[in-house]
Amino acid sequence: MKILAFIPARAGSKRVPNKNIKLLGGKPLISYTIDAAKESDRVNRVVVSTDSEKIADAAKQHGAEVPFLRPEEISKSDSTEMQFFLHALDWFEKNESYVPDLIVLLYPTSPFRKAESIDNAIEKILEHPEADSLRSVKPCSEHPYKMWCVEDEYLKPFMKDKDPNTHTSSYHLLPTVYIQNASIYITKPSTIINKKSPTGDIIIPFIMDELESVDINTPRDFKFAEVLLEELET
């Protein structure tokens, strides 16, 4: 099978400037994701999609392909997965006649994801041919039944339930919920093209632990990752 590891890495991070190539443990952040993809037994191509020559150079130095630069108009803070998927698929078809069987989306902000987990996620979606996609998730520590909105200066429950006092229930009495963790998302080109969605309708979960779910978006996240890395190396 043609299984593509696809790593989106735009240049314009505002909260952590040059985040994707900022050094973590002496290595560019993006290199951890590239290494995990290269170590996977199932992935047979690793491509970085970026709008930055600097990120492209770092990605190539660590063994990823950068066959194109992503256009500026789809490299903004509000750009979507669909936009960079469609751009990549169109480029591959026109320039290489290449259509992957699976696209394994790996955000470079998750440096502790393991190659073994990538392989396990691929195996899981292959066991479910009916699935449109797979999304990695982690157990949610803040339950939606405990969340509120403010309307006209008053608190209103974010989640409405038959029991108006659900928000007072102990956590163990509430349904288990998960939040996507930006670590391993797998989709099929047919889902993107035919359903015009990166997820489609039938989405299978891949549950991950807290360490592999670390997602770096702020300076505090980066410092936390540095501490974790030190602990893992000692």
Average pLDDT over residues 97-122: 98
CATH match for 3-137+179-233 among 3.90.550.10, 3.30.1540.10, 3.30.365.10, 3.30.56.10: 3.90.550.10
Is residue 141 predicted with pLDDT exceeding 90?
Answer: no
Is residue 67 predicted with pLDDT exceeding 90?
Answer: yes
pLDDT of 161: 87
pLDDT of 14: 80
Average pLDDT over residues 28-41: 98
Write out the two tokens for 46.
Answer: 């690793």
Domain ranges of the chain: 3-137+179-233, 141-176
pLDDT of 164: 86
